[in-house]
Structure 1
Amino acid sequence: MTYNVTPQLASNGFTVAELFAGGGLMAVGLRAAGYDLVWANDFDKNAVKAYGHNLGDHIVHGDITALNIDSIPDVDVIAGGPPCQDYSVAGTSAGEEGERGKLVWRYLEIIERKRPKAFVFENVKGLIMKKHRPTFDALLERFAAIGYTVSWRLINAWDYGVAQKRERVFIVGVRADLGFAYVFPEPRPEDYRTQVLRDVIGDLPEPYAIHAPEERLPAYIQNVVDGKTTTNYGNGIPVNSGDYPARTLICEYRAKCPNEVTSINGFPRRFTVRECLRIQSVPDSYVLPDDISLSAQYRIVGNGVASRVSYLLGVALAEQLRTATESNAIGERLISDYPDDCANSRKEAV
């Protein structure tokens, strides 16, 4: 089976530039939704290599704080999620005072300067929690102040046909002159919490079978063999099984972390990179180059946006932008065709 839950749609006529693009997992979804990807940026050279390998050489490697904003092409939509570690519960919790946390304001600065029709902003759930809520509210206020009508939602990827309980905050802003607020698509009944690990990785072969002597087994597996612990590791966090969605993938693998699944041998093992990609709803056509280290590959996948989520949000945005653009064009044409009548109507209304 070739896995793909983001089928390619026809071009929608809208262009996208992506900030903090990473390896392009969000871009995979947007491209499939019909957008033309014309520019992207990221600071991580491995992420840039992965993006370029899969999506094209329009990505620019470099520090976004040093980037000349005028070098970003004019586009219809700007997308991306500033680094989340300073807002994550598992991260530094430094918030907007952190080196990465302050990048939310750089994102806003670029939106203000470039004035796209719309933007899509993604970040961790921690941004709307009590400690960082003042930053989130201030961000919404500033987006409104620079002329954008904003809508936001905490989205669980599992609700949208992804086999992962991944909660992320999405803000979608629409330039006020377009006259509408973005409406988030609702989960379809066939998608809503229906996908489990078996559905997305069940056809993949086991990466290995354990035949090594017990003394060569990893310590956490050895403890299971010896009866010193269970597959809960004694901390109440069960190992993923095929009958449930994955817990949120993290950007790096550790022995005791959610990036694990119970193998056919009954022992826990970490997900392979391909399994992680599928859990992030990335099609099998996406391939990470062999010269990127394994740890960097896990980081690229764990930091990404679930492709099917960006796909569905992108489809809805394109439909709403098209409707607004066509309505505005019709209105402008009517005013042009009947200038005197419109003028008289305005006088009568006054």
Structure 2
Amino acid sequence: MPELRAAGQVVTVAAAANLLDSLLDSGIKVPYSCRAGSCHACIVRCVAGELQDNQPQALDAQSRAQGWRLACQCQVMGDLSVELYDPSKQATRAAISACDWLSAEVLRLRLIPEKPVVYRAGQHALLWSAQGVARPYSFASVPDVDPWLEFHIDCRHSGAFSDAARLLSVGESLHVGVVSGGELRYEPDWQERPLILLAAGTGLAPLYAVLRDALQHNHQAKIRLIHSAHDAQALYLREPLQTLAANTPQLEVQHVSAAELPAALAQLRLVPRQTLALICGKPGNVELFARSLYMAGVPRNQTFSDLFLPHAQ
């Protein structure tokens, strides 16, 4: 049976055992969230040994060359030594410059990093709390436009990170870790193509960034943004978006509650064939959005999505 070395411990594990489960079962604290290879919270460095990576495309070539792997997607095939991710060494420390509520359940954090963080509008990063909890959040800021990194934290339900976030204040620090993702992005050659942006809940965060990025690139065609939430009180950024729409002739913004969403989606009919769609939210919402867009005539290869997966147990 393979020996697994990590955090100063040596344990014996079953051949082909899941690496994340093996670490957790051994009492080694490794953060994780989705268990699907999306959030990157369980990233570890393979120092020596044998493992099978079931999702090699989840990390970029540079990270893989450095030995980084997602523990939830790896199997222990032989003796293995891994190094845990240390945010104090491998992430970027960032001070909270603003901490305010956009609605009763959405907390906006603006962070000033100690060194530049390279990202694109539409990507997400790992935020590390002082308690060592890591969760992925999408950038709501635009690089080279906003002097801060902005994130929208959904605090509707209790969670390890959201509970800690409620207690944060200006001047405290977090660590910004791995930047990943990229399905939701704006490409400069999209200027003449209509865009539909569909967001549920804090799925608005990356689409708000992509929208402003598109306008920075002088997007010419029509843009339609629909933001939905479980009720009207949970809709946020209404005023800045309506102001943006009032000053941008090609932009249409619609805020709808869950009860109003079917009617809003029913209005998506006979859209131009060259339309591109970007959608974001929890899996059920994304599935509903994708189906509605397909019925409206948007080809599936012109629909880009980002799923906000729930924390796996």
In terms of Rg, which structure is larger? 1
The structure with more helix, counted as a fraction of residues: 1
Which fold has the larger relative contact order, with Cα–Cα distance below 8 Å and residues 6 or more apart in sequence? Answer: 1
TM-score normalised over the length of structure 2: 0.29
The structure with more strand, counted as a fraction of residues: 2
